[in-house]
Amino acid sequence: MKRHLRNGVVMISVLLVIVVVLVGCGSPATAPAATPSTAPPPEPTTAPADTPAAPEVLELSGDPVRGGLLYDTWWAVLAEEAEAPETDHPLWATQTTNTRSGADTWRCKECHGWDYKGADGAYGSGSHLTGFPGIFASKDKDPSEILAAMKGSTSPDHDFSTVMEEQDLIDLTLFVVQAQIDTDDLVNEDKSAKGDATQGQDRYEEVCTLCHGPEGVAINFLGFDDPEYVTTIANDNPWEFIHKVRFGQPGWPMPSAINNDWADADVANVLAYVQTLPEDVTLNQGGQLYDQWWEVLEMEEPTGDQPLWATQSTNERGGTDTWRCKECHGWDYKGADGAYGSGSHLTGFKGVLDSASMSADELTAWLNGEANPDHDFSAMGEVAISALVTFMREEIADTASYINDDKSISGDPAQGKSMYDNTCATCHGTDGKRLNFGDADEPEYVGTIARDNPWEFFHKAAFGQPGAPMPSGFGLGWSLEDIANLAAFAQTLPTE
């Protein structure tokens, strides 16, 4: 299970509406006609069960791309915020080979495969083996039959109308009959792509780089210890790669190749290119640990006050906040000599900007409690501590040459605007107001952070946001100067 599922945080808005009119049973699907958004509302199908009398006119109106998203973690796609199922899918008990449980067992892909071939495809062996059939052959069936199967006509346990609405099932049906491709046309048996890496590079740099970065490491999909990047998926599971590139990522506004009118060959080319990227490049996530490290490490959040907290009395926060490095050492890394030298965050504690001059051993001793037993963060583990040490020695930087005393930025907002529009706007909105980090009464947007706390903005733009698949600016190959341009633009965004 991926860790970044966040229902309702970012809704994917798909404007494409496709109407299919099918006449008679078993007739091949006519080419989808794209219509403007004035398409008629979906008609409930009232297909009579066993009366093959007069040719039925079944009109399915919906969005096969959304159907492709629902094929994965459908609860992250539903309009109404839906909870992930906790029990096993009823059909799960009819197999014993795949030992996953809970929500995973409800994903269509877990039973039918990313290659749509079930037991006849990639899931015909290995830990995902269930023995369940694929759905590729169903693409030639009458859509009304597929829709009925989604409601339990073939097996009462295959009834998804209990968890999804009619329109969701229609979208899934349209995916099954219209949007499936034979992945063998794009991938060889040894998982290598049947595509042209050089052509794929152009497409990758046009679209994917904006979020995943030139080396593919700007977003880590998985845990801190076992990072997973686009390159990992391209090499290990090219079928998942193809599916996600064509349809997008549930719950996140990743573009869909189908909606962007890419040919299947484009997808194969991008796959071929990503497979040429070096797999041993990783992103140091130490910068994210400087913030809420327990989120990044998927640990229980610390309770009680950090022991050193009692040695100060000016900052009145308590509990979890007191364990964030930034709360004591500042977003500008200057502690009492910087922005936290006054105001509600004042503790009087020193900064860590000069720590870069310490040896790795000295810094490690500071983090595992050897230097001062009350400064013991060894609960995060050695790998994390070493990532923090790398962050402090190699990545921490003085932002004073970009952030002026009055918090204005020395940077070029025009350059920043294109960076913002290309990368940040997809999640935060062009005006930066789609995600509210505060609440309805006291909203806090990207624009707010950029103006009120430019140091935090710099830090988060460089390293990403703990617990969210927000791209890391350093992973995108940006310099501090680039981030200054971005910040200069972000300061022009509305704050209310």
Pairing of strands 17-23, 57-62: antiparallel
Q: Which stretch binds ligand HEC (CB under 6 A): 16-24, 45-53, 100-108, 276-284?
A: 100-108
Contact call for residues 132 and 95 (beta carbons, < 8 A): yes
Among 20, 58, 211, 387, binds ligand HEC (CB under 6 A): 211
Q: Which stretch binds ligand HEC (CB under 6 A): 120-128, 178-186, 226-234, 396-404?
A: 226-234
Q: Which stretch binds ligand HEC (CB under 6 A): 154-162, 188-196, 337-345, 397-405?
A: 154-162
Instruction: Report the first-to-last Cα separation within the chain, whole angstroms.
Output: 36
Subset of 247-266 contacting ligand HEC (CB under 6 A)? 249, 252-255
Q: How far is it, in rounded angstroms, from Cα 65 to Cα 17?
A: 10
Burial of 370 (0-12, 13-18, 19+ CB in 10 A): middle
- Using CB under 6 A as the binding rule, whether residue 116 contacts ligand HEC is answered as no
- Using CB under 6 A as the binding rule, whether residue 112 contacts ligand HEC is answered as yes
Contact call for residues 60 and 143 (beta carbons, < 8 A): yes
- Using CB under 6 A as the binding rule, whether residue 449 contacts ligand HEC is answered as yes
Amino acid at the residue 105: T
HSE, side-chain direction, 13 A CA sphere, residue 322: 20
- Using CB under 6 A as the binding rule, whether residue 183 contacts ligand HEC is answered as no
Least Å distance between CB 51 and ligand HEC?
19
Stretch 79-98: interaction string toward ligand HEC, x if CB under 6 A: ----------x-xx------
HSE, side-chain direction, 13 A CA sphere, residue 290: 28
Q: What is the DSSP letter of 303?
A: -
Among 58, 111, 174, 488, binds ligand HEC (CB under 6 A): 111
Q: What is the DSSP letter of 123?
A: G
Contact call for residues 174 and 62 (beta carbons, < 8 A): yes
- Using CB under 6 A as the binding rule, whether residue 136 contacts ligand HEC is answered as no
Complex with ligand HEC: residue 283 or 424, whichever CB lies closer: 424
Least Å distance between CB 466 and ligand HEC?
9
- Using CB under 6 A as the binding rule, whether residue 270 contacts ligand HEC is answered as yes
Least Å distance between CB 429 and ligand HEC?
10
Residue 311: CB atoms within 10 Å: 10
Subset of 379-418 contacting ligand HEC (CB under 6 A)? 388, 392
